[in-house]
Amino acid sequence: MIPRRMNGRKRTTVTAAGCMAVSLVACVLLLRHIDEIRPKATIEDALYVNSPKMIKRASVGFDGLMACIYWTRTVQYFGHRHFDRAHTYNELAPLLEITTTLDPYMIPAYEFGASFLAPKPPGGAGEPARAIHLMEYGISYNPDNWHLYYDLGFVYYTELKDYRKAAEVFERGSKVPDAHPFMKIMAAQMAMHAGDFTTARMLWTATYESSHETNIRQNAIEHLRSLRVDEDVTSLQALVTQFGERTGRLPASISELAAAAHLRAVPVDPDGNPYQLSATGQVLVQNPDDFPFITKGTPPGYKPAPPKFHTKRSD
Amino acid sequence: MSPRIFHIATNTFREAVRDRVLYNLIAFALLLSGAAIFVGQISIDIERLVVVDLGLTAVSLFGVVIAIFIGIGLVSKEIEKRTLYTVLSRPVRRWEFIVGKFFGLAGTLVVNTFFMAIGVFGALFYVAHKFSKPDALILVALYFIVLEFLIICSLALLFSSFSSPLLSAVFAFSLFVIGSFAEDLRGFAGLAHGVTRWFATAAAYLVPNFSALNVISAAAHEQPLSSQLILHNTLYALFYTAMALSGAVLIFERRNLK
């Protein structure tokens, strides 16, 4: 009798353990399928309530934890939309506003906002006013953080081209204790040479070097790459004009231009592809989609694609 | 189903429906569905949305509370009252006892959900004066809520097979909360690196994924739900329940009941 009962128990144990293992594997596999079916569900749910104050009250004192959850969702949202090459980021502003209302001291959220809320689509959400509001809100809580002034000045400079305001903000930031000496230089630079390539390169390099956030750094790399193309195209275009004045015709190819201008080699873009010359003498980039922020070197009627990030600096 | 499991399940069901707390909770859920009508009236143009959201949330939350509070007492009460010994002295295996208890509780919750769903549809009819085709999505949402209850029941039984009722309630409720953020947990795992990534991924797959079962918002917004999602969620809930029940059987089989 006793051995029979033991056998029964053993059988039950083996069956239950087997069932548990099979179920666990099945659950993992099914979850992967479910994720594929509904990849965007999280954000839709997250923004069902989009009033920051309401969420702060509903968090019943766990503001910090909620802020972390919303910050994770913000990054996920941006990542998903970016991966899908979406042209809009409509929920980015409310997500950042919720995050910073829950935790006004979460600096990465402000930096993220300055980088991706202000730029025009497809590079960002195209909401510079909300980006400025977010940064001013951040400064009101963190007046001693020079990074926030830098980011705000950056929005005025890159998106609104309001160099006077940018200079003002950099000046304000330079007075913060322990502010980077660079802030003072930027304030002066804004007042004197706001629109030139050097200033832009200085700003993007500083952004790259002062941020630890991967998306922000990649965005800076992308701008630096595009700046190099803009600079190259500007100088090559000047060479085309000079060639025309000298010979009375347009160069037949970029190689002819390089030879005539005594360049060491055929000029190439940051990816190593040679620049091209159109029949009308316009200098063009071979793959403009690889440089989402370029303002020169694109064929007429070209519509920019959403940016795809590179991980290495080209200069 | 063996006749022994069926008898245990029927008795569990009878015992559960005699519990007064159950009726209080159902009354609260119905009251909340009714209140949704008034909340809907003061919110411009979103009456239907409020009724569906508040009604289904009430069904889900009160159902979870019922599942946890009845589920955690299923084994411990039997031990406390010493009725378990009477049951197990008959030709009833321990696993049959656990499985029977599960089916009894699951049956109770299905019946409860049915009554609470009548309340939600009643409130909806009061607001809209008719039913439309997208209202069928509410049935899908209710079906997912029932699947959620199955998982909660099995978890409550799992914890109650080795722990005190109070601790079982804490464990089950904590898992419910964590499971509701399962997708965020997987998102976090995706952002992590090295060992943290492995641990976070393992934890994310081990906790029940309640967020995939929560389609209340989609039903309220009349967003279509794919049949694939219904199939996968059904299979997921069944396998997860089987996993938790197997765990409960494994523990209870080895538990010293002296």
**Residue where one domain finishes, among candidates A187, A218, A249:** A218
Q: How far is A26 from chain B (nearest CA, A)?
A: 7
The overall average pLDDT reported for chain A is 80
DSSP string of A50-90, one letter each residue:
--HHHHHHHTTT-HHHHHHHHHHHHHHHHHHHHHTT-S--T
Q: How far apart are CA A3 and CA A9, in angstroms?
A: 10
Are residues A56 and A195 located together in one domain of the fold?
yes
Q: Which residues of B touch A48 (CB under 8 A)?
A: 217
Are residues A235 and A148 located together in one domain of the fold?
no
CB-nearest to A31 from B191, B205, B254 is B205
Q: Which residues of B touch A26 (CB under 8 A)?
A: 235-236, 239
DSSP string of A145-211, one letter each residue:
-HHHHHHHHHHHHHTS--HHHHHHHHHHHHTSTT--THHHHHHHHHHHHTTSHHHHHHHHHHHHHH-
List beta partners, residue A268. Answer: A274
In a domain, A285, yes or no: yes
Contact status, residue A266 vs residue A297, Cβ threshold 8 Å: no
Put simply, the answer to whether A16 touches B250 (Cβ < 8 Å) is: yes
Contact status, residue A236 vs residue A256, Cβ threshold 8 Å: no
* A257 SS3 class: helix
A:B CB pairs within 8 Å:
90
Contact status, residue B151 vs residue B244, Cβ threshold 8 Å: yes
Contacts of B108 (CB under 8 A, 6+ apart): B12, B13, B16, B17, B22, B66, B70
Q: How far apart are CA B181 and CA A118, in angstroms?
A: 30
In a domain, A26, yes or no: no
Output the pTM of the full model: 0.58
In a domain, A22, yes or no: no
- Look-up: residue for tokens 């029927």? B10
pLDDT at B247 (0 to 100)? 92
Q: Which residues of A touch B211 (CB under 8 A)?
A: 41-42, 45
Q: How far is B220 from chain A (nearest CA, A)?
A: 11
In a domain, A181, yes or no: yes
Closest chain A CA to residue B96: A12
* A274 SS3 class: strand
Q: Residue A44: which pLDDT band, with cuts at 50, 70 and 90?
A: very low
List beta partners, residue A284. Answer: A276
Put simply, the answer to whether A16 touches B253 (Cβ < 8 Å) is: yes
In a domain, A126, yes or no: yes
Contact status, residue B56 vs residue B142, Cβ threshold 8 Å: yes
Put simply, the answer to whether A30 touches B253 (Cβ < 8 Å) is: no
Are residues A182 and A235 located together in one domain of the fold?
no
Are residues A274 and A209 located together in one domain of the fold?
no
Read off the CATH number of the domain in which A151 is found.
Answer: 1.25.40.10
pLDDT tens string B149-178: 999 999 999 998 888 888 989 999 999 988
* A121 SS3 class: coil
**Residue where one domain finishes, among candidates A188, A218, A248:** A218
The overall average pLDDT reported for chain B is 84
pLDDT tens string A107-136: 888 988 888 898 887 778 889 999 999 999
- H or E element in which residue A95 lies: helix A92-102
Q: How far is A57 from chain B (nearest CA, A)?
A: 18
Query: Residue A279 CA to chain centroid, in angstroms?
Result: 35
Q: Residue B239: which pLDDT band, with cuts at 50, 70 and 90?
A: very high
Are residues A189 and A127 located together in one domain of the fold?
yes
Put simply, the answer to whether A9 touches B205 (Cβ < 8 Å) is: no
Q: State the Rg of chain A over Cα.
A: 27
pLDDT tens string B116-158: 888 888 888 887 788 888 888 899 999 999 999 999 999 999 9
Closest chain B CA to residue A24: B243
Q: Residue B243: which pLDDT band, with cuts at 50, 70 and 90?
A: very high
In a domain, A33, yes or no: no
Are residues A240 and A268 located together in one domain of the fold?
yes
B181 vs A: CB within 8 A: yes
**Average pLDDT of A160-173?**
85
List beta partners, residue A274. Answer: A268
Q: Which residues of A touch B250 (CB under 8 A)?
A: 13, 16-17, 20
B177 vs A: CB within 8 A: no
Q: Which residues of B touch A69 (CB under 8 A)?
A: 181, 184
DSSP 8-state code for residue B209? -
Q: How far apart are CA B212 and CA B145, in angstroms?
A: 11
Are residues A245 and A213 located together in one domain of the fold?
no
Are residues A61 and A113 located together in one domain of the fold?
yes
Q: Residue A210: which pLDDT band, with cuts at 50, 70 and 90?
A: confident
pLDDT tens string B68-114: 988 888 888 888 777 877 777 777 788 888 899 999 999 999 988 89
**Which residue out of B183, B210, B235 would a mutagenesis test of the A interface target, given it has the greatest number of A Cβ atoms within 10 Å?**
B183
pLDDT at B146 (0 to 100)? 95
Domain range for A111 is 44-218
Q: Which residues of A touch B (CB under 8 A)?
A: 8-9, 12-13, 16-17, 19-20, 22-24, 26-28, 30-31, 33-35, 37-38, 41-42, 44-45, 48, 69, 72-73, 75-76
In a domain, A268, yes or no: yes
- H or E element in which residue A276 lies: strand A276-277
Q: How far is A59 from chain B (nearest CA, A)?
A: 14
Are residues A249 and A211 located together in one domain of the fold?
no
**How many domains does chain A contain in total?**
2
Are residues A66 and A161 located together in one domain of the fold?
yes
**Residue where one domain finishes, among candidates A163, A186, A218:** A218
In a domain, A249, yes or no: yes
Are residues A180 and A273 located together in one domain of the fold?
no
Are residues A197 and A243 located together in one domain of the fold?
no
